[in-house]
Structures are given as C-alpha cells and as structure tokens.
C-alpha cells in the first residue's frame, strides 16, 4: 500500500515539482494550496486526476485539521509559504501570518494525527549573509536580515521546537536559490527572460555583484523526497548545488542565450538589507542519503530559458496578474 502524503503549497513553483515527482514515485498524494497570486493549478494540470486537491489556506486552522482528519497522512511536506523578499519589505504582516501561524497549524495537525514524518521547508536566507569567503553549514547560527527570512527562521525554529518538545518527527530543509520551469515572474530569472523577450530594460540591484547558489528545481524536489524517505527526524539538511554566480553573471548568461544585448541591463538603487552572498555546505544530505546534484547551472539555465520562451504566454499572463496585485495592494 502506497504512503499517503500531504503537500502544502503544491501549486507553487517548488511545490508543484515535488507533487509531480511524488505522483511519479507512487505516493498517494493530496495537495493543499490557497492559490494566491503565486499559486497556479496549471503547474499540476497534467496530473490533477492523480491527486486530491484542497483549496485551503494554511492559516485556516479548522480547515487544515479537517483535511488531516480526512486524509490521515503518513508524511507531510510543508512547502507553502510567502516567499518574495521585496514584498516582505513592503508588507511583513502577511509573511509572519502565513509562514509562522500557518506552520503552527500544520505542525499541530501533524502532531494530532500522528504523522510519521514532516518536512519543514526553510531557506538558506535564515543564515544571514556571507562575505566573499566562507560557507554555511547546518550548525551555522541563524541570523536573518529581511522580514521574509525572519519569518522563515521562525518557521524553521518552530519545527525544531516541536521535535524537541513534543517528539514530532520534523526534518528541516534549507535550500539555496531555486530556478527552473514554472517560476513566477517576480523572481530574477523569469523577470530577466520576460523583459529581454520584450527588449525592455532589466533593472539590477546595485552593481549586480550579489552572489547566490543556484539550484535547479528538479534537483531540489528530488532532495526533498529523498529526505522524506531517508532523512533522520530532528535533523537539519542543506540542499545546495555548489553553483555560485553573481546576479550580473546570471543576467548576462540569459541575455546571451536569447541573443539579446547586454545594454538592456540597467543598474538601480540596491534593495534595503540586501544580503551579499549565500553558499551552502550540503555534504550531509549527500553522505546520509546518497542524493546528488544532477543539473549544472549551464544546462539548467539553458533548459529554463527554452521552457520560458516556449511558455511565454503563461509568463506574460502571470506578469499581468502581478501588476494588478501591486496596483491593488500597494497603490502603485
């Protein structure tokens, strides 16, 4: 009999990739997603008949408990979150409510219904920032710098507290910068592709020298499911790629693949509190589970650009949705 898994945020960028992989691996899969602006069932349309979908916000405690009562999951992959740093700077409250209170609801439901394993999805941003040297290990103290990363650090610590206090079998995952198919056009890679497609100026914070570690979304999804199967409860695991790039390098790589001039790049005032560099030591997940990075940056960015050009209508429509959201919420 296949294991029952609940995946929160399963219509999101990373979540949808995990859903597809879970179905492929034979899991009996239920998805919880409130379908905010960043959620889209189109991401999982090809497998929608193979899953059970609940349009529910994780802050709806009664709704979450009802779903757990009905589904009786063996495993919970908690990926639902507000995730865009710029939006967290403008409106921290939504991030605190979703990422902290929503996570409490998921953990309480998992505890009530005696779930075998909970994956609590964190981020490398909880560590703060690095200079040009150094690397984050799982034991690096947390030092978040944006409202988003503070909310994720709180979620991260809450999950570990539930393991320590209640014995809830929580595994904490801290992943580096994901990119790939179906990414919403508020993140760097799809924004650059869309603007370059229309020959528009591409705004880059500061001088574009901030460094991120770029992880292809399929590798991240495989890492999450590998930890659901082989990870040890109570432990923290970094998922990285070793593929560090300056933002400006990423932008130029995309422009080159699209045959667009670098003159489209326009440097703008830096973001408040912009972390300089993240880099993860991910040898723990490799040694304990056998997971390995499969997609190098050169291959991944080529696949990503190709996919986005082939699905440019989706990207354009999502951009319109985003503009409507900002006009409504932020009066811009």
Give me the residue spans of the domains in the chain: 4-184+214-244+273-295
Tell me: pLDDT of 236 over 80. yes
pLDDT level of residue 332 (50, 70, 90 thresholds): very low
Active site residues: 124-125, 148
pLDDT of residue 326: 62
Instruction: Specify the CATH class of 4-184+214-244+273-295 in words.
Output: alpha beta
pTM (2 d.p.): 0.94
| Cβ proximity of 65 and 37 under 8 Å | no
Tell me: pLDDT of 40 over 80. yes
1 vs 31, more confident: 31
The residue among 69, 89, 74 whose CA lies nearest residue 27 is 74
pLDDT level of residue 47 (50, 70, 90 thresholds): very high
- Output the average pLDDT for the chain: 94
Q: Token digits for 9?
A: 């945020």
pLDDT > 70: what percent of the chain? 96
| Long-range interactions of 186-191: CB distance < 8 A, separation 24+ | 186/38, 186/84, 186/86, 186/87, 186/322, 187/84, 188/247, 188/250, 188/251, 189/250, 189/254, 189/301, 189/304, 190/308, 190/315
């Amino acid at each position: 009999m296949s294991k029952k898994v609940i995946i929160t945020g399963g219509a999101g960028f990373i979540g949808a990739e995990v859903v597809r992989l879970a179905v492929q691996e034979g899991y009996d899969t239920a998805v919880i997603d409130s379908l905010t602006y960043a959620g889209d069932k189109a991401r999982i349309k090809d497998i929608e008949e193979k899953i059970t979908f609940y349009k529910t916000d994780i802050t709806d405690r009664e709704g979450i408990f009802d779903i757990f009562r009905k589904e009786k999951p063996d495993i919970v992959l908690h990926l639902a979150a507000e995730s865009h740093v710029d939006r967290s700077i403008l409106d921290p409250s939504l991030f605190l409510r979703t990422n902290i209170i929503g996570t409490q609801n998921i953990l309480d439901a998992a505890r009530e219904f005696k779930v075998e394993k909970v994956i609590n999805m964190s981020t490398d941003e909880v560590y703060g920032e690095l200079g040009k040297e150094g690397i984050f290990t799982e034991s690096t103290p947390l030092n978040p710098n944006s409202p988003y990363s503070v909310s994720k650090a709180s979620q991260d610590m809450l999950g570990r507290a539930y393991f320590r206090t209640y014995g809830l079998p929580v595994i904490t995952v801290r992943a580096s910068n994901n990119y790939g198919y179906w990414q919403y056009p508020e993140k760097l890679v799809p924004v650059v592709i869309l603007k370059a497609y229309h020959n528009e100026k591409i705004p880059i914070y500061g001088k574009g020298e901030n460094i991120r570690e770029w992880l292809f979304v399929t590798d991240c999804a495989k890492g999450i499911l590998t930890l659901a199967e082989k990870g040890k409860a109570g432990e923290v695991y970094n998922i990285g790629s070793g593929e560090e790039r300056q933002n400006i390098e990423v932008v130029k790589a995309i422009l080159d693949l699209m045959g667009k001039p670098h003159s489209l790049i326009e440097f703008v005032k830096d973001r408040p509190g912009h972390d300089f560099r993240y880099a993860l030591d991910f040898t723990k997940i490799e040694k304990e589970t056998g997971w390995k990075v499969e997609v190098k940056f050169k291959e991944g960015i080529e696949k990503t650009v190709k996919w986005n050009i082939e699905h440019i209508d989706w990207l354009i429509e999502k951009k319109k949705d985003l503009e409507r959201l900002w006009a409504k919420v932020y009066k811009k």
